[in-house]
Structure 1
Amino acid sequence: MRHIPWDGFQLFLTIAEARSLREAAVKLKISAATVSRRLEALEQQIGAPLFERLPGTLRLLPLGEALLPEAAAMRERADALNRLIGVRDAFDQGPVVVTTTASVALFLARHLLELHAACAPVGIELSASRQILNLARREADIALRLRRPPAEGDLRVKRVSQMTSALYAAKSYLAQERWRGGEDDVRRLAFFAVGQEPERSQRAAWLRAVMGTKRPLAQIDELHLRLEAVRQGGAAALLPCWIGESDPDLTCVGGRDAPFREDIYLIFHNDLAQNPRVRRAAAAISDLLKRRAADLAGPAGANLGRS
Structure 2
Amino acid sequence: MNWDDLRIFLAVARTGTLSAAGRRLGLDATTVARRLGRLEVEAGRSLFEVTPAGHILTARGQDLLGHAQTMESAAIACAEGAQAGLQASGTIRVSVAEGFGTSVIAPHLHEFADAHPGIGVELVASSGFLNLSRREADVAVMLARPQRGPLVARKLTDYNLGIYGRRGVARPLSSIADLGEERLVGYVPDLIYAPELHYLEETAPGLSATLSSTSVNAQAAMIRSGAGIGILHCFVGDLDPLLERLLPEEVDIARSYWLVMHRDLRGVARVKAFVDWLDGLVTRMRPLMVGRP
Q: TM-score, normalising length from structure 2?
A: 0.73
- Partner of 1:161, secondary structure, is strand
Q: CA deviation at 1:289?
A: 2.0
Correspondence 1:28-67 to 2 at 5 A: 28=25, 35-36=32-33, 39-40=36-37, 42-44=39-41, 46-67=43-64
Q: CA deviation at 1:38?
A: 5.0
Correspondence 1:159-238 to 2 at 5 A: 159-171=155-167, 174-175=170-171, 180-188=173-181, 189-193=183-187, 195-197=191-193, 200-204=194-198, 206-210=199-203, 212-213=205-206, 215-217=208-210, 219-238=212-231
CA RMSD of aligned residues (A): 4.1
Of 78, 82, 103 in structure 2, the residue corresponding to residue 81 of structure 1 is 78
Amino acid at match of 1:164: N
- Structure 2 distance, partners of 1:190, 1:120, is 41
- Structure 1 distance, partners of 2:284, 2:31, is 49
Q: CA deviation at 1:57?
A: 3.7
User: Which shows bigger deviation, 72-81 or 29-38?
Assistant: 29-38
Contiguous gaps of at least 5 residues in structure 1: 303-307
- Structure 2 distance, partners of 1:286, 1:109, is 15
Number of residue-to-residue matches in the alignment? 283
Change (3 A) 1:83 1:272: farther
Q: Deviation per CA, 1:232-255, whole angstroms, max 9, x where unpaired?
A: 232333321121122232233466
Asked if structure 1 preserves the Cα contact closer than 8 Å seen for 2:99 and 2:216, the reply is yes
Q: CA deviation at 1:39?
A: 4.0
Asked if structure 1 preserves the Cα contact closer than 8 Å seen for 2:91 and 2:122, the reply is no
- Structure 2 distance, partners of 1:151, 1:201, is 17
- Structure 1 distance, partners of 2:11, 2:91, is 25
Q: CA deviation at 1:111?
A: 4.6
Change (3 A) 1:32 1:174: farther
In structure 1, the partner of 2:144 is 147
Q: TM-score, normalising length from structure 1?
A: 0.70
Amino acid at match of 1:128: L
In structure 2, the partner of 1:10 is 7
- Structure 1 distance, partners of 2:142, 2:284, is 18
- Partner of 1:17, secondary structure, is helix
Change (3 A) 1:210 1:274: closer
Of 236, 240, 243 in structure 1, the residue corresponding to residue 233 of structure 2 is 240
Of 281, 290, 297 in structure 1, the residue corresponding to residue 283 of structure 2 is 290
Q: Deviation per CA, 1:250-300, whole angstroms, max 9, x where unpaired?
A: 23346643533232345566876595x76665444323322321111114x
Q: Deviation per CA, 1:189-247, whole angstroms, max 9, x where unpaired?
A: 232216522xx22112x322235445534543333333223222323333211211222
- Structure 2 distance, partners of 1:136, 1:63, is 18
- Structure 1 distance, partners of 2:230, 2:201, is 12
- Partner of 1:174, secondary structure, is coil
Asked if structure 2 preserves the Cα contact closer than 8 Å seen for 1:186 and 1:253, the reply is no
Asked if structure 2 preserves the Cα contact closer than 8 Å seen for 1:191 and 1:217, the reply is yes
